[in-house]
Structure 1
Amino acid sequence: MSWSDAYVLFGAKPNRTPCSAQALRKRVLKDGTLPTINPVVDLYNAVSLKYAIPVGGENHDAYVGRPFLTIADGTETFDTLMNGEAVDDPPLLGEVIWRDDIGVICRRWNWRQGTRTRLEAATARIWFILEALETMPDEALAEATDALVGGLNALMPGCRIVSQAIAIT
């Protein structure tokens, strides 16, 4: 199954709201460059492009409770920016979302990240997720993880990294 197929299954239109890896690829092909945000985000965007998988980085300390992947009931809040203005753009009923105890962290699985948990230059504790469907070999996912860990060690010598594989069926 492709990410586009997965998105169709929960009612999203992948040409309009593609997974983050596809959106990043389209952006790079259109503009010819990888957008620069900060070194950590730039690193995980590069890993996302190289391995064609969604990679996200989150400010661990901005979470309330634990993050979890679930189906939206349509009443959740999602803080984001539109045209430079802070807005609540709630998910649709049945949409796949990442959330914590107080709201949505990422809409349409990995399409758009919220503002509350985004990484800033001074973020100290970071949670990353590399998302792969069953069609991606475990070895390729491990290689992508190793690339991210190696890059983080180069950017932040002495940082402590814990890696764990989680299978959702």
Structure 2
Amino acid sequence: MREQFPQLAAATLTLDAVTSDTDTTATAAPFLARASARLADRPESELPEIAAWRRAFSRMGLKPTQYRCASEALLRRLRTHGELPRIHPLVDLCNAVSVAYAIPIAVFDLDQVVGDLTVAPAAGTETYRSFSGETETPEPGEIIFRDDAGNAHARRWTNRQSALSAIRPGTRRVLIVVEALHDTASGDVEALRAELAAALGSHGWSGPGGQQVPHGPIPRR
């Protein structure tokens, strides 16, 4: 992955004290306002962050207007409906930060992930659970989030997450993954990570052992 996309900037955060009864509306509002201001200036397809993902999807043989990265899909929803769907307080906050930066943010329930989670081309034997309840098999070579049991927790890289590890009311342990490909991705991912960590901390969501939310770049290998 690093050889194919050397410009990739990525970071992770982990939480182990997530609750579903927290109101993140006020915390998310400034991020949504920033996103709306950007959309007033130009459509999401012209934002450099989104354009970079569109180029990556084209390189992977995907039609960018058929398969959109998660942040583009959210921005499109915000532009057309003026708001984002309410899913879970944590997801709602992450979605707001995602549209503010136009950078995809994935949120996984770690208790549904077996072993390590790896972003890599699919072997073609993995299984993916859609939100409609169907089981799919990613195409060989398709970039997925794969665990040690062969579960695909996301398809087409940043396009679509799996229902298997989606955040639910009972979710407690969470992995958050941030990825960007545009020219200023490294600095923007760092800024996003810092703002998101502060927002999460303001609601008392903490990392392992109740410590401050740990975060850092994914090491280059």
TM-score (norm 1): 0.91
The residue type equivalent to 1:122 in the other structure is: G
Find the partner of 1:140 among 168, 173, 188: 188
Which residue of the partner structure matches residue 107 of structure 1?
Answer: 155
Aligned-residue Cα RMSD (Å) equals 1.7
Instruction: Name the CA distance, whole Å, in 2 between partners of 1:157 and 1:12.
Output: 37
- Work out the number of aligned pairs and report it: 166
Q: Is residue 165 of structure 2 the alignment partner of residue 117 of structure 1? A: yes
Per-residue deviation, 1:139: 2.3
Q: Is residue 110 of structure 2 the alignment partner of residue 63 of structure 1? A: no
Instruction: Name the CA distance, whole Å, in 1 between partners of 2:142 and 2:148.
Output: 17
- Change over 3 Å in CA distance of 1:157–1:66 after alignment to 2: closer
Instruction: Name the CA distance, whole Å, in 2 between partners of 1:156 and 1:164.
Output: 19
Which residue of the partner structure matches residue 143 of structure 2?
Answer: 96
Q: Is residue 50 of structure 2 the alignment partner of residue 50 of structure 1? A: no
Which residue of the partner structure matches residue 82 of structure 2?
Answer: 32
Per-residue deviation, 1:143: 1.1
**Greater RCO, CA 8 A, separation 6+:** 2
Per-residue deviation, 1:101: 1.3
Which residue of the partner structure matches residue 76 of structure 1?
Answer: 126
Per-residue deviation, 1:11: 1.4
Which residue of the partner structure matches residue 131 of structure 1?
Answer: 179
Which residue of the partner structure matches residue 149 of structure 1?
Answer: 197
- Paired residues of 2:52 and 2:182 also in contact (CA < 8 A): no
Instruction: Name the CA distance, whole Å, in 2 between partners of 1:156 and 1:7.
Output: 37
Instruction: Name the CA distance, whole Å, in 2 between partners of 1:154 and 1:121.
Output: 20
Unmatched runs of 5 consecutive residues or more in structure 1: none
Bigger proportion of residues as helix: 2
Q: Which protein has the larger Cα radius of gyration, Structure 1 or Structure 2?
A: 2
Instruction: Name the CA distance, whole Å, in 2 between partners of 1:155 and 1:122.
Output: 17
For each residue in 1:13-64, what CA deviation from the matched residue of structure 2 results, as whole angstroms up to 9, or x when unmatched? 1111111011111111111111111110001001100001000111112110
- Paired residues of 2:128 and 2:138 also in contact (CA < 8 A): yes
- Change over 3 Å in CA distance of 1:153–1:88 after alignment to 2: same
Per-residue deviation, 1:137: 3.8
Instruction: Name the CA distance, whole Å, in 1 between partners of 2:218 and 2:130.
Output: 27
Per-residue deviation, 1:134: 5.1
Which secondary structure state, in structure 2, belongs to the residue aligned with residue 58 of structure 1?
strand
Range with bigger deviation, 98-107 or 118-127: 118-127
Q: Determine what percentage of the aligned residue pairs are the same residue.
A: 32
- Paired residues of 1:10 and 1:94 also in contact (CA < 8 A): no
